[in-house]
Amino acid sequence: MCKELKIAESINNHIIKEDNRTLSHGDAVVSMILNGLGFTGTPLYMSPQYFEDKPVELLIGEGIEAKHINDTALGRTLDSLYKYGITNIFSNIASQSVKILGIESKIGHLDSTAFAVHTNYDKSSEDGEIEIVKGHSKDYRPDLNQIALNMIVENKANLPIYIQASSGNQSDKIAFGDIVEKQIKNLKNDFGIEYIIVDSALYTKDNLAKLNKENIWWITRVPNSLKVIKEMINSIDFKQFKQIDENYSFIEMGSFNNAVNQRWMVIYSKDKAYRNHKSILKKFTTKSNEGMKKIKQYEKQLFTCKEDALKSLKSTIVEGFETVEHKRYSKPGKPKRDALKDVTEYSLSLLISSSLTPFYKEKKQAGIFVLATNQLDNNELRIEELLPEYKHQQKVERGFRFLKDPKFHADSIFLKKPERIAALMMIMTLSLLVYSALEYKIRKNLKEKSLTFPNQKGKAISNPTTRWVFQYFYSVVLIIVEEENIYDYFNENHSIILECLGDSYLDFYG
């Protein structure tokens, strides 16, 4: 697939070798992709060891040996990629790949994630573009510095078509608007993207103004924290909702929020409501218990007169109260037989408010979320299509899960130079591109040719994952006898996959 997508050729056309090294920058990138997709747990910076038992000349190119794929050569390639611009070189390869695979997609999904970096000090790239710093950790590792990755994935084959490395403390609300504003022409011209789908971080006044100016259709979720959403939910009539399926129902509304005409799809999810109800009840119960403790502590306080006791109530919200007298002896020690309790003190017995208004208010909002689009033409984008299209946002999230898979060995990065870390993130995303391209092509041709492939349980399927195909091919062994290539443990199912992928793949196996 690397050869079909012309990855090495594209990189070598843009970045020329500066010396007489055997390994070109393009070949070094392909080497790292093969290493990354080997799923052996071998880190990307251990490539010489990974290739020791591989037919390197067959895989990479004539005259190349495992010793050529060393740390020095790979490090120089990472430096050269960053110097050229990883966003530009990646976009060139992605655009070329989309054309080669014949993929036509109108929708792109934008999201970001962060990768933990094992350096205990902040560091910036020489150009000041990227800082390795602490930020909001999506991996729940606030103790580690991190670097961010922004990625756009098209929605037909899940191919990443845009990446940008960024500082670990980036604000998505700022970054997302800037990315769409700067890249929209390239996305339209190179990939045919007409719609961009982003999570609620996009929905700010500044971002909507930018996108409105650039004339791009967008779909996003409106934050429930906005006052306009809270007011709308409180006044909504659930009887007007239309059923989509057993879980979802919706109502359509128009909006002119943030000076932009929009269509809103107000959605109610039974499953989400059930989950929210449990968390709200837990929160309400916790608050009530905390309130009870404070009330009990308050009731133990004694005051010299009723007026002081009542004054102390000025900041306490209760439903009712009564004063309680407490008599005591003025002198310490054991009282005399005829002594009287001559000191009177007062406390308050409080009737705690039983109002559940806040609870019911939150409960009513549970399970409701709002999707918005600036595409006002129902013939171009039906309101019913908003939810399924937005749910495809998981495609970019699935890509991030792939990149952070421990078997990919890139969930934490041990390099120290921000420039090399950023370039390595490009290599990782190229690996995702190759992986997704293989999966798309295999599944597409299995269905078109009415062929099947056995899954892990031996059941015939037409949608295998690339990882399972890789595992199935682990059994294939190349034996070279007197310069003749012999492939052993090769069966009909291997041939089916190669037939789906094309003649060049069949030729590769002789």
pLDDT digits (tens, 9 = 90+) for 80-119: 999 999 999 999 999 999 999 999 999 999 999 988 887 6
SS3 320: strand
In eight-state DSSP terms, residue 335 is: P
Facing residues of 111 across strands? 151
What are the tokens at 362?
Answer: 């939150």
Burial profile 46-79: b = 16 or more Cβ within 10 angstroms, e = fewer: ebbebbeebebeebbbeebebebbeeebbbbbbe
DSSP state of 226: S
Give me the mean pLDDT over the 337-353 stretch: 74
Distance CA 29, CA 36 (A): 10
Reported confidence tier of residue 42, pLDDT bands at 50, 70, 90: low
**308 in a structural domain:** yes
CA distance between the termini of the chain: 16
CB atoms closer than 10 angstroms to residue 329: 14
- Burial bucket for residue 331 (CB in 10 Å: 0-12, 13-18, 19+): exposed
| CA gap 476, 478 in Å, rounded | 7
Q: Which residue has the higher pLDDT, 446 or 477?
A: 446
415 in a structural domain: no
CB 454 within 8 A of CB 461: yes
Q: Is the pTM for the entire model greater than 0.85?
A: no
Give pLDDT, residue 320.
61
- According to DSSP, the residues that pair with 148 across neighbouring strands are 114, 166
Looking at residue 404, what is its pLDDT? 83
Q: What percent of the chain has pLDDT over 90?
A: 41
Q: What is the pLDDT of residue 403?
A: 86
Compute φ and ψ for 429, nearest 5 degrees: -75, -35
What mean pLDDT do residues 279-283 have? Answer: 69
pLDDT at residue 353, as a whole number:
53
Give the mean pLDDT of 152-181.
93
Please tell me the total count of domains within the chain.
1
Radius of gyration of the chain (CA): 32
Does a structural domain hold residue 409? no
Whether 473 maps to a domain, the answer reads no
Query: Is 303 in contact with 312 (CB distance < 8 Å)?
Result: yes
SS (H, E, C) 99-135: HHHCCCCCEEEEEEEEEEECCCCCEECCCCCCEEECC
482: Cα separation from own chain's centroid: 51
The rounded distance, in Å, linking the Cα atoms of 67 and 83 is: 25
Residue 43 pLDDT > 90, yes or no? no
Average pLDDT, integer, range 320-349: 79
262, 372 Cβ separation under 8 angstroms: yes
Cα–Cα dist 348/314, whole Å: 13
* Burial of 235: CB neighbours in 10 Å, binned 0-12, 13-18, 19+: exposed
**pLDDT at residue 318 tops 70:** no
Q: Cα 283 to the chain's mean position, in Å? A: 27
Q: How much of the chain, in percent, has pLDDT values that exceed 70? A: 85
Give the max Cα distance, the chain: 121
> With 80 as the cut, is the pLDDT of residue 297 above it?
no
pLDDT band at 315 (very low <50, low <70, confident <90, very high): very low
Residue 399: inside a domain: no
pLDDT of residue 451: 94
Q: What pLDDT score does 413 carry? A: 63
Task: Tell me the pLDDT of the chain averaged across its residues.
Answer: 84
Are 149 and 112 contacting, i.e. CB atoms less than 8 angstroms apart? yes
d(CA 81, CA 60): 19
d(CA 195, CA 381): 10
Tell me the average pLDDT across 199-212.
90
pLDDT surpassing 80 at residue 292:
no
Predicted pLDDT of residue 375: 92
456 within domain boundaries: no
| pLDDT score recorded for residue 316 | 47
Mean pLDDT of the 347-370 span: 66
- Please name which of 96, 113, 203 lies closest in space to residue 164, comparing C-alpha atoms: 113
The lowest-confidence range among 151-160, 279-288, 320-329, 333-342 is 279-288
* Segment among 145-154, 302-311, 450-459 with least mean pLDDT: 302-311
Query: What is the span of the domain harbouring residue 256?
Result: 223-379
When mean pLDDT is compared over 27-41, 277-291, 312-326, the highest value belongs to 27-41
**Residue 328 counted as domain residue:** yes
The amino acid at residue 336 is K
Question: Are 66 and 51 spatial neighbours (Cβ–Cβ below 8 Å)?
Answer: yes
pLDDT at 489: 81
Quick one: 507 exposed, middle or buried, by C-beta within 10 A (0-12, 13-18, 19+)? exposed
pLDDT, position 94: 97
Residue 327 bridge partners (DSSP): 344
Contact 258, 208 (CB under 8 A): yes
Residue 96's pLDDT is what? 96
pLDDT band at 321 (very low <50, low <70, confident <90, very high): low
Residues contacting residue 301 through CB under 8 Å, at least 6 positions apart: 312, 347
Helices 86-101 and 418-448, interaxial angle, to 10°? 10
Evaluate whether 176 touches 144 at the Cβ level (below 8 Å).
no
pLDDT tens across 236-278, in order?
888 889 998 888 999 998 888 878 889 999 998 888 887 777 7
Sign of CA dihedral 429, 133, 203, 386: positive
Q: pLDDT tens digit string along 464-492?
A: 999 999 989 888 888 878 777 777 788 89
Is residue 295 within a helix (H) or strand (E), and if so which, with residue range? helix 270-299
Instruction: Inform me whether the pLDDT recorded for 295 exceeds 70.
Output: no
Q: Is residue 285 part of a domain?
A: yes
Least confident span in 37-41, 67-71, 166-170 = 37-41
pLDDT in the model for residue 313: 60
Q: Is the dihedral of CA 372, 378, 383, 387 positive or negative?
A: negative
Spacing of C-alpha 480 from chain mean position: 45
